[in-house]
Amino acid sequence: MNVVADTVALDNINSHPIENAHSELQIVAPKDAINHYLKSLGTHRDFSIFNWKIVDLPVILYDKAEGFHIYRDIKAMEQGGTFTEVHHKIVHKDNIENGVTFDASITSLVVWQWIAMIVGIFFVLFAARKYKKSPLKAPKGIQNAVEALLLYLRNEIVYPNMPNRALANKYQHYFYALFIFILLMNLFGLLPGGHTATGAIGTTLGLALISLFVINITAIKQIGIGNYLKHLLGGAPWWLSFIMIPIEIISIFTKPFALTIRLFANMTAGHIVLLSLVGLIIMFQSLVMAPVSIAFSLFMMTLEVLVSVLQAYIFTILTAVFTNLAIGDHAEHSTAH
């Protein structure tokens, strides 16, 4: 009962923010605070860890009327006088309702992608250099980890799912890169101060688009354009073509779309649950909620580590499975699975 009484009392304080605000800190209602953090799950226009701003990021815009614009940072854009930012969206000053045609700014999520790339490249190149320097020595340290990971990916994802060894050896690098890149992006979101780049739908859409091209171009190269088009019939008799061909064409595009949504929704869902758990403290405004919130957050964080690895694995293996499906039975299958 005490908790309820405290909550009511604190709610009364916060519903009159101006009368009770003695400090310069702006007091907002708990719901607004949570909404604010929910919005900032997305992108920022500066790169900062916690509240420590490291660098402002450039703004790159394309507008139908104004053409390309590149500004050094968001302040330079405001001073430029043509565009302004309203609710995280860049709009034309004369037309505040609609956003600009195309906002290709470098955001904090892009920087986190770069960090994931650099870290991934560093680890793999480090291992590769060790092998070049002393190919006969037993691997140790990072080299061991990279070797174990790549061997696992090759034996469990690439070899069982590609129609033959030659093709598997040719395409294995794409799957390695995909797995390591997605895994690192997912895991960087769990570091304190980090952001999950895969929690933005643009990132996952880009990855899925690459997968779309890999799946279909591989299939066309392997079985020829004629067989690829024959595949669109799905093995049904010709008089069913008017219904089969649209379905098959849609299914070509739904596969990458499902990849996009799956990765994005899984990564975002975990963060929203974590935010809700932390939000419980802000909503109830009592010390009693803190241990509960921390316990559940710890559990969710552990689950997030599992989900990060699992989603990277699923994205990679589904790309491999879809490639195999698109090639179909035309290529020779290897017997060794």
Partner 1 sequence: MDLAFLAAGLGAGLSVFGAALGIGKLAAAALEAAARQPEIANKLQLTMIIAAAFIEGVALFACVICFILASK
List CB contacts of 147: < 8 A, sequence separation 6 or more.
127, 139
What's the rounded Cα separation, in Å, for the pair 123 and 128?
9
What amino acid occupies position 139? P
Nearer to partner 1, 181 or 322 (CB): 322
Nearer to partner 1, 83 or 315 (CB): 315
Q: Tokens 């799912």 label which residue?
A: 161
Nearer to partner 1, 42 or 58 (CB): 42
Q: How far is the CB of 311 from partner 1 (least distance, A)?
A: 9
What's the rounded Cα separation, in Å, for the pair 118 and 123?
9
Q: How far is the CB of 107 from partner 1 (least distance, A)?
A: 19
Instruction: Give, to the nearest 10 degrees, the angle between helix 201-231 and helix 165-188.
Output: 160
Q: Are 193 and 53 in contact (CB under 8 A)?
A: no
- Structure tokens of 5? 């009484």
- Structure tokens of 155? 């034996």
Nearer to partner 1, 131 or 313 (CB): 313
Q: How far is the CB of 336 from partner 1 (least distance, A)?
A: 14
Q: How far is the CB of 170 from partner 1 (least distance, A)?
A: 23
Nearer to partner 1, 32 or 156 (CB): 156
Q: Is residue 164 left, alpha or beta, with left meaning phi > 0 and alpha meaning psi from -120 to 50?
A: beta
Q: Give how far the C-alpha of residue 223 lies from the chain's centroid of Cα atoms, to the nearest Å.
A: 32
Task: Write out the residues near partner 1 by the rule CB under 8 A.
Answer: 38, 156, 160, 258, 261-262, 265-266, 269, 310, 313-314, 317-318, 321
- Structure tokens of 167? 């093709």
Q: How far is the CB of 25 from partner 1 (least distance, A)?
A: 27
What is the number of other CB atoms lying within 10 angstroms of the CB of residue 116? 21
What's the rounded Cα separation, in Å, for the pair 313 and 206?
17
List CB contacts of 200: < 8 A, sequence separation 6 or more.
42, 43, 109, 264
Nearer to partner 1, 100 or 157 (CB): 157
- Structure tokens of 85? 């930012």
Q: How far is the CB of 59 from partner 1 (least distance, A)?
A: 25
Q: How far is the CB of 10 from partner 1 (least distance, A)?
A: 25
Q: How far is the CB of 172 from partner 1 (least distance, A)?
A: 18
Nearer to partner 1, 29 or 258 (CB): 258
Nearer to partner 1, 231 or 255 (CB): 255
Distance (Å) of CA 101 to CA 61, 68, 136, 234: 8, 10, 56, 39
Nearer to partner 1, 218 or 311 (CB): 311
Q: How far is the CB of 182 from partner 1 (least distance, A)?
A: 14
What amino acid occupies position 107? T
What's the rounded Cα separation, in Å, for the pair 298 and 194?
17
